[in-house]
Amino acid sequence: MQYGYFDEKAREYVITNPNTPAPWANYLGSPDYGAIVTQNAGGYSFVKSGAAGRILRYVFNQFDEPGRYIYLRDEENGDFWSASWKPVAKPLEEYKTETRHGTSYTEIISEYSGIRSKALYYVPMGATHEVWRISVENLTDKPRKIAVFGYAELTTESFYTQDLVNMQYTQFITKTEFHDNFILEQINEFNYPRPDGTTGRERFFGLAGAPVTSYTGRREQFLGRNRFDRPQSVLDGKCDNSLNYNANPCGALQFEFTLGPGEKKTAAFLLGQKTVFEAEKIMKRYENTEKTVDHELQELITYWHGELANLKICTPDKKFDAMVNTWNAFQCFTTFVWSRAASLIYCGERNGYGYRDTVQDIQGIMHLDPELARKQLTFMLSAQVHHGAGLPLVKYSHNAGHENTPDDDSYVKETGHPSYRADDALWLFPTVYKYIAETGNTAYLDEEIPFADKDTGSVREHLKRAINFSMTHLGPHGMPAGLHADWNDCLVLGSQGESTFVAFQLYYALNIMKEFCENEPEYVKYLDDTAKKLLKVLNEKCFEGDQFIRGFRDTGDIIGSKNDKEAATWLNPQSWAVISRAATKDQANAVMETINRKLNTPYGLELMQPSYRYAYFEGARMRLFNPGTKENAGIFCQTQGWAILAEALLGHGDRAFQYFSESSPASFNDDADRRVIEPYVHGQFIEGHESPFAGRSHVHWLTGTASTVMVGCVEGILGLRPTAKGIEISPAIPAEWDGFTMEKVFRGKKLHITVNNLAHKQGKPEKYILNGKERDAGLILESELTEDNKIVVVM
Ligand code: GLC
């Protein structure tokens, strides 16, 4: 079934049937003030941390409740409904609604009983409060008397878990007050500011653009003995002007008005963690509600559409375009900003950035905003330990040069991360490379950045130490040891087990470093010798004719040998053999055929096959997951991006696009009940063929899938492959496409690219026509480009 569609002109996903198989969410705000909102207005808000700065209560994994509720009541007959379909949930035959999730705002437009309402939710640019603008329009030819109620369920405590489980304390530390047009919640009113100087003790819920006619600050009073679909105050037509003392706080405000035929009225509810003084100032700003809101919304749209503007494609596949132009790109910014902090799955308890996750996330926005990417990349380099490894968890409060590391008990105790991962710092190589390639800023390699614990060094030095970390942690075959984990969090190989995936990553890193250290012949020789040695081991010990093994256990036993009963063929070593350029052409073709034969399903490639059931070993922790799930032979979506890229690098456009389509959210737009989560965002994994729910996806929004699939599409399928010197355009597309166009801004220069595929090839273009001049396909030097370029790529 289909619940909505992509409106690419507006860059919105429009949900037309709100009864979706799961809450379909959007992100508002920034890490200073974040909010998640669903098509039924469910979701929560927080200051800085979803776990430690929670303002709005939300009960996970239940009924998508509570939310930012706006109720409307016909004062003549007492009938009432909500501006979002739920919580009141009038029959959908009578209640017409659409939710427009846009770039950092959501608008829910509904019509019921001749009244049209528009609830717009957003956090203004740079602000730390949120706005729920409500406009109500009378579509009938009679005057209508309407009452509007806004409801915000405030937490009793900023610590979300305390709010939910320690009521013997939290219910007795808050009370609410009514000030002119807003409810103020006080927490620990008579307490001193916290040690960090913040108070975080006052929140407000206010109404601008209309006078409040009744209010309550007490949840029990608003709801009575009912639930959100029939709040007592709404049934009664007014709140009782009561306040909270020793129970559950809330903000509930009512206003009413009469609308003549065709007349419209607009007001705005406002919410934030603010003192009385700050709240009053914010309220004032919205006195002229429509004007302020229009301006703020426009500001958001201008900013976000600007962020997405560096690449715009137009291909024969509109779903592909919607993902690349808008939704995958917006998701990449979301993961870039929020890491794995807060969603409807994560609640903000992970108090920092995962090293590999974040270094990967940075790649997802590189083609759109490389300078923003650089800031976070520099931050992550400063979280590299002096011996080259990445800190497994980089605290939000990270203080470069002064951090403890997994070598210190205090770090282990504080973060729960006992040791290093084999791969973390190796993700820096593709990320630094992509930054330099997108910008041409090779001077970045000389930028001095401190290490996490002690020492400082240039970016180049950081990378050298990353290589050194791998080289000082080799296993018995001379391949990188698997340590606490490699990319696969469930594979614990220790200091004697070895990982082929990391070996390919290291091989890739060694070759990139050859480019970065051109002026150091001795070091280049070392890199070259090391790479050759590594390649020899990979070929002699890890290649089985049509696949690479996954590695070695600490016992020396092979993991992922083709005749194994379980976990015999693994996806990542094959795709990375190609991406790292370690595989010869024949090897590459052979291993990619193998994964197609053994791992592919209608919903993407499984991570390995068959799943672990009985023949596992101690370090194979994925055995805990049900077969076909997550790392135990699920379709781990991040890895699809690498498979897409690998096929594209080989010029196999049909396969690359097939892998994209199989697991792309948009492909499920008309089969949304199968996928369950949003058809406009990637999830962490899809259940594989061994699950009775094959095709169902999980863990929406905050996942590494966003960045790798983005890279797979941009560098792979679209073939936009910059290097330090310029850019190569080498699309790998379905043979049936006649061609497509791309508008790309590259180092400030405009590239209008037309790909002509009348030859119906899959990849490896024949020639370019660059500003009217024909030339061979290949690298276009930056110096060959003018401010505005017409490039025809002839396949
Ligand atoms: C999760 C983790 C990521 C890891 C992956 C595979 O997505 O966030 O770091 O690489 O699982 O185990």
Predicted confidence (pLDDT) at residue 85 exceeds the cutoff of 90: yes
Q: What is the pLDDT of residue 194?
A: 57
Each residue's pLDDT tens digit, 641-677? 999 999 999 999 999 999 999 999 999 999 999 999 9
Q: Please name the residue whose Cα sits nearest to atom 8 of ligand 1.
A: 357
Write down the mean pLDDT value for the chain: 97
In Å, how far are 46, 251, 533, 673 from 171, measured between CA atoms?
A: 19, 16, 65, 40
Predicted confidence (pLDDT) at residue 569 exceeds the cutoff of 60: yes
Each residue's pLDDT tens digit, 198-207? 566 899 999 9
Q: What is the pLDDT of residue 567?
A: 98
Q: Please name the residue whose Cα sits nearest to atom 10 of ligand 1.
A: 487
Angle in degrees, CA 623, 625, 630, rounded to 5: 110
Q: Encoding tokens for residue 790?
A: 């017409």
User: How many distinct helices (H) and strands (E) make up the chain?
Assistant: 21, 42
Confidence label for 732 from pLDDT (cuts 50, 70 and 90): very high
Q: What is the pLDDT of residue 350?
A: 77
Each residue's pLDDT tens digit, 682-708? 999 999 999 999 999 999 999 999 999
> What is the distance in A from the centroid of ligand 1 to the CA of 637?
10
Q: What is the pLDDT of residue 193?
A: 62
DSSP β-bridge partners for residue 29: 34
Judge if the beta carbon of residue 631 lies within 6 A of ligand 1: yes
> What is the distance in A from the centroid of ligand 1 to the CA of 631?
9
Confidence label for 520 from pLDDT (cuts 50, 70 and 90): very high
In Å, how far are 66, 199, 255 from 234, measured between CA atoms?
A: 16, 34, 12
Contact 597, 475 (CB under 8 A): no
DSSP β-bridge partners for residue 216: 252
Looking at ligand 1, which atom is closest to the CA of residue 485?
12
Report the C-alpha gap between 150 and 685 in whole angstroms: 37
Predicted confidence (pLDDT) at residue 730 exceeds the cutoff of 70: yes
Contact 491, 622 (CB under 8 A): yes
> What is the distance in A from the centroid of ligand 1 to the CA of 487?
6
Q: What is the pLDDT of residue 754?
A: 98
> What is the distance in A from the centroid of ligand 1 to the CA of 299?
35
Looking at ligand 1, which atom is closest to the CA of residue 638?
7
Which amino acid, residue 6?
Answer: F
Looking at ligand 1, which atom is closest to the CA of residue 487?
10
Report the C-alpha gap between 716 and 762 in whole angstroms: 12
Closest CA to 501 of 576, 558, 430: 576
Q: What single-letter DSSP state applies at residue 518?
A: T
> What is the distance in A from the centroid of ligand 1 to the CA of 481?
18
Judge if the beta carbon of residue 73 lies within 6 A of ligand 1: no
Residue 364 C-beta-side C-alpha neighbours within 13 Å: 33
- Ligand 1 probe mutation, 335, 357, 636, most atoms within 8 A of CB: 357
Which amino acid, residue 85?
Answer: W
Looking at ligand 1, which atom is closest to the CA of residue 490?
12
Q: Please name the residue whose Cα sits nearest to atom 9 of ligand 1.
A: 357
Residue 273 C-beta-side C-alpha neighbours within 13 Å: 24
Q: What is the pLDDT of residue 199?
A: 64
Closest CA to 71 of 263, 261, 238: 238
Range with the poorest average pLDDT among 318-322, 342-346, 371-375, 607-611: 342-346
Cβ-proximal residues to 668 (8 Å cutoff; 6+ apart), any chain:
674, 675, 679, 695, 697
Report the C-alpha gap between 491 and 117 in whole angstroms: 52
Closest CA to 541 of 585, 479, 486: 479
Contact 107, 96 (CB under 8 A): no
Which amino acid, residue 536?
Answer: K
Cβ-proximal residues to 442 (8 Å cutoff; 6+ apart), any chain:
436, 724
Judge if the beta carbon of residue 354 lies within 6 A of ligand 1: yes
Contact 208, 181 (CB under 8 A): yes
Each residue's pLDDT tens digit, 213-224? 999 999 999 999
Judge if the beta carbon of residue 684 lies within 6 A of ligand 1: yes
Q: Please name the residue whose Cα sits nearest to atom 6 of ligand 1.
A: 488
How are beta strands 749-756 and 788-794 bridged, if at all? parallel
Positions marked catalytic: 489
Report the C-alpha gap between 665 and 603 in whole angstroms: 10
Judge if the beta carbon of residue 414 lies within 6 A of ligand 1: no
Q: What is the pLDDT of residue 355?
A: 97
Closest CA to 435 of 503, 340, 371: 371
- Ligand 1 probe mutation, 345, 424, 483, 489, most atoms within 8 A of CB: 489
Closest CA to 639 of 570, 694, 733: 570
> What is the distance in A from the centroid of ligand 1 to the CA of 490?
9
Report the C-alpha gap between 258 and 118 in whole angstroms: 17
Q: What is the pLDDT of residue 198?
A: 57
> What is the distance in A from the centroid of ligand 1 to the CA of 416?
16
Range with the poorest average pLDDT among 189-198, 316-325, 528-537, 560-569: 189-198
Q: What is the pLDDT of residue 710?
A: 98
Predicted confidence (pLDDT) at residue 195 exceeds the cutoff of 80: no
Angle in degrees, CA 264, 9, 39, rounded to 5: 55
Predicted confidence (pLDDT) at residue 347 exceeds the cutoff of 90: no
Report the C-alpha gap between 713 and 690 in whole angstroms: 28
Which stretches of 311-384 are assigned E, i.e. beta strand?
Answer: 311-314, 352-354
Judge if the beta carbon of residue 572 lies within 6 A of ligand 1: no
What torsion, rounded to 10 degrees, do the Cα atoms 322, 323, 329, 333 define?
110
Q: What is the pLDDT of residue 190?
A: 74
Predicted confidence (pLDDT) at residue 196 exceeds the cutoff of 60: no
Range with the poorest average pLDDT among 146-160, 298-312, 341-355, 723-737: 341-355
What's phi and psi for 135, nearest 5 deg? Answer: -120, 140
Count other Cβ atoms within 10 Å, centred on residue 785: 20
Contact 745, 764 (CB under 8 A): no
Q: Is 118 helix (H, G, I), strand (E, B) or coil?
A: strand
Q: What percentage of the chain's residues is helix, strand, coil (to nearest 5)?
A: 30, 30, 40
